[in-house]
Structure 1
């Protein structure tokens, strides 16, 4: 006689960035000057929906959902940073030719981004240790990284710059 163990099929949660993307588009339409705070409500929309899909309510599923949306915001952050860097280089060149530059815009941008990365890492480590080694630490850390990355992406895209 052969004993066969049957376990329920594990399903991966279904992540799609569409809810977050649509929410951000609506926020841009509502605030063309990028000054409104409603865009902050967009952060986490897609990962929350993912967590209600089959498999999304487990610890691993939650982390997968949160990391899916983190990748969305990280892509936006990298694109916004690249644009800001190009503008900073242009501004530095113009100020250098006019001999008015005392501080490099590019260097200031890089220093700000490095400081933000250090802050994000420290803030999210703090979130993790609140769980004292428990299984909630993974989702808490992923949620923190998502929140911080999204806010930084929006900041670099020009939200609240006025």
Structure 2
């Protein structure tokens, strides 16, 4: 999946005729901060706003915007994971923290396999990068919110 994201980004960067639309990280963080559950309607809003920029409405632009928002969510996810892991180390020691590590590794494998499947299903169409990027964005954002909620259970 990371290869897919890198290839799409390189395609945009490698073509000087295309602008490089960008995602507003503050918009994503506001979504995270205001989310009441793990499936808020604001997931994807930053990517949608990005698509209104020059060349943001092309297939490559849409993919770039989705991947840009997914990267911000991934940064949030990593921060949430580190916080929850530190809390679990204090609360239950290494076995509990290691269980989180195992769960996170399994989740990453699932996300990548599931979004890879979506990409393969659409392999004959140019939409494949868009649907796979959307899958990656949705799953990453939802996991960041799940980890936030796991950390608040203590």
Structure exhibiting the larger radius of gyration computed from Cα positions:
1
TM-score range, shorter chain: 0.7 to 0.9
Question: Which residue in the other structure is 1:20 paired with?
Answer: 28
Shift of 1:83: 0.6
Q: CA RMSD in A?
A: 2.4
Q: How many equivalent pairs are there?
A: 138
Distance 1:57 1:156, change over 3 A: same
Distance 1:161 1:90, change over 3 A: closer
State the TM-score, normalizing by the size of structure 2: 0.78
Question: Which residue in the other structure is 2:4 paired with?
Answer: none
Q: Distance in 2 between matches of 1:88 and 1:160?
A: 9
Is residue 122 from structure 1 mapped to residue 130 from structure 2 by the alignment?
Answer: no
Shift of 1:87: 1.2
Structure 1 runs, 4 residues or longer, greater than 2 Å off: 8-12, 17-27, 36-39, 159-162
The 5-angstrom pairing of residues 54-69 of structure 1 reads 54-69=54-69
SS of the residue corresponding to residue 138 of structure 1 reads helix
Question: Which residue in the other structure is 2:133 paired with?
Answer: 142
1:153 to 125, 139, 144: 144
Gaps of 5+ in 2: 1-15
